[in-house]
Amino acid sequence: MTRSSETVCIVGMARTGLDWLHDGHAAGCEVWGLNRGNFSYGPDTLARFTRWFQIHPFGGMMGRYQSMEYLEWLRNCPIPLYMDRALPEISASIEYPFDQVVAAMGSNYFATNTIGYMVGLAIAEGFKEIRLYGINMGDDDLGDRYARPCIEFLLGMAAGRGAKVWVPEESALLRGNLYAQPVEATPQDVYTLMNRLRSYVERMPFGLDRGWLNQAVVATEEFYLGKTAGAARHVAKP
């Protein structure tokens, strides 16, 4: 397809999924949705999407996607619908141009998750700005943790090709401490962190439990991320 704008908003289903409506990019940009995100919006908002993505094989979709209501929506999807293959019973379906995107990217690394497919296509089509909404990719979901490096790699590739990239402040994407920079923490900050860690230790079952230990580590990371200038990772909003 030929892009109709210089900017694409790729919209997931986390809390920031509606922010694209209010940040000055609702008009004049392409808006891409995925999976069952159609159930997150009213008809007027849903009508502003320009493309949809359902990459999971139609005959063997994961159980959470397989419902008669959703299948009926796919059959009547009013916008181009990218799937692993075009299907006669789904008139809007388009086979995802996998080979074309691989050629443009020089790699199939984008193919580990649906967001990767979307960002990969956006790069291949030459969008000048790629904005992600409702896509957190945090540590709570194993699939998100697996997908995050791929998406970060692609966003870096997009930026390297001159595109402007933006993700929500609350997203785990492109997030990290500023190395070798001082961490300004007051005594109260340290006291708060120690109490938080102690609460995890006190609730830890007998013996080493990786789940509990991971929560303690995440708590520590969140504390230090909050004390460094990690917010600088994002391009400022216009």
CB 136 within 8 A of CB 144: yes
**In sequence order, which residues have a C-beta less than 8 Å from that of residue 178 and are 6 or more positions away?**
228, 229, 230, 232
Q: How far apart are CA 113 and CA 138, in angstroms?
A: 14
Note the pLDDT of residue 83: 94
Average pLDDT of 46-67? 81
Note the pLDDT of residue 68: 85
pTM of the predicted model, to two decimals?
A: 0.75
Note the pLDDT of residue 116: 94
> How confident is the model over 149-172, as pLDDT tens digits?
899 999 999 999 999 999 988 888
Average pLDDT of 11-27? 80
Q: How far apart are CA 118 and CA 111, in angstroms?
A: 10
pLDDT band (50, 70, 90) for residue 235: very low
Query: Phi/psi zone of residue 35: left (φ > 0), alpha (ψ -120 to 50 degrees), beta?
Result: left
